[in-house]
């Protein structure tokens, strides 16, 4: 199979690492070679959390600048910061829901607005999909499950060597039934959101 480098980024408390584990398990359930790594610090204070999944027998868990085939951003400002890691023509799937850093909350710093971030992503990516993970999570029954909605949307884009069904299998195999049910709902909502956006804009 072809190799694939996936970079996931968010902030502490969002469940980025849990999402990484479930996506890696989905790949394993489809018989793929998986290498995963994570970098996080100050996560309990809302600091950045990054993780990687490499498919196809790649050994190093690191993803260098311009190497990521897919960027999954659970917070739009972190998506923006990670864009230099994306290879030309790669895919971006990102949440639209900001979790402002302390400096922005205190009015001491400014951040780019969503339109600026979307324009920057579209300038370097072969495809972009932005969706409100918070809204989809709430619709599924728990705002925390919004991350699974984002993964479901990404897998529905047929860019990965497996689809949302593999993620559903990983959720059933990993999570307790009540929690799994919420997250399966979230995956389905993410798939619907991806279909809606791509039908409205074929170039997504």
pLDDT along the chain (204 residues), means of 10: 90 84 96 86 67 89 93 96 96 94 85 96 95 96 94 95 97 94 97 84 48
**Considering the entire predicted model, what is its pTM?**
0.91
Q: What pLDDT does 194 receive?
A: 95
Burial grade of 200 (CB within 10 A; 0-12, 13-18, 19 or more): exposed
Matching residue, tokens 């072969």 = 126
Of 133, 142, 125, 38, which is closest to residue 88 (Cα–Cα)?
125
- Distances in whole angstroms, Cα of residue 189 to Cα of each of 71, 171, 179, 192, 193: 20, 15, 16, 5, 6
Q: What pLDDT does 5 receive?
A: 96
Of 2, 159, 5, 125, which is closest to residue 67 (Cα–Cα)?
5
- Residues of 155-189 as b/e, b for ≥16 C-beta within 10 angstroms? bbbebbebbbebbbebbeeebeeeebbbbbbbbbb
The Cα 34–Cα 58 span in angstroms is: 8
The Cα 101–Cα 202 span in angstroms is: 34
Contact in structure between 106 and 93 (CB atoms under 8 Å): no
Matching residue, tokens 């959720």 = 171
Q: What pLDDT does 71 receive?
A: 97
Q: What pLDDT does 92 receive?
A: 97
């Amino acid at each position: 199979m072809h190799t694939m480098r996936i970079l996931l980024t968010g902030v502490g408390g969002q469940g980025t690492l849990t999402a990484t584990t479930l996506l890696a398990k989905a790949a394993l359930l489809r018989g793929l070679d998986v290498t995963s790594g994570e970098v996080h610090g100050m996560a309990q204070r809302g600091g950045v959390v990054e993780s990687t999944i490499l498919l196809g027998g790649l050994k190093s868990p690191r993803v260098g600048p311009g190497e990521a085939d897919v960027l999954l951003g659970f917070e739009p400002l972190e998506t923006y910061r990670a864009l230099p890691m994306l290879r030309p023509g790669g895919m971006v799937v990102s949440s639209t829901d900001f979790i402002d850093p302390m400096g922005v909350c205190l009015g001491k710093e400014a951040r780019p607005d969503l339109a600026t971030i979307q324009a920057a992503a579209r300038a370097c990516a072969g495809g972009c999909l932005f969706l409100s993970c918070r809204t989809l999570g709430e619709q599924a029954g728990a705002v925390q499950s919004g991350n699974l909605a984002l993964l479901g949307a990404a897998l529905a884009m047929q860019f990965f060597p497996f689809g949302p069904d593999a993620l559903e299998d990983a959720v059933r195999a990993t999570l307790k039934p009540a929690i799994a049910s919420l997250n399966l709902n979230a995956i389905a909502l993410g798939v619907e959101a991806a279909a809606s956006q791509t039908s409205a804009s074929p170039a997504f």
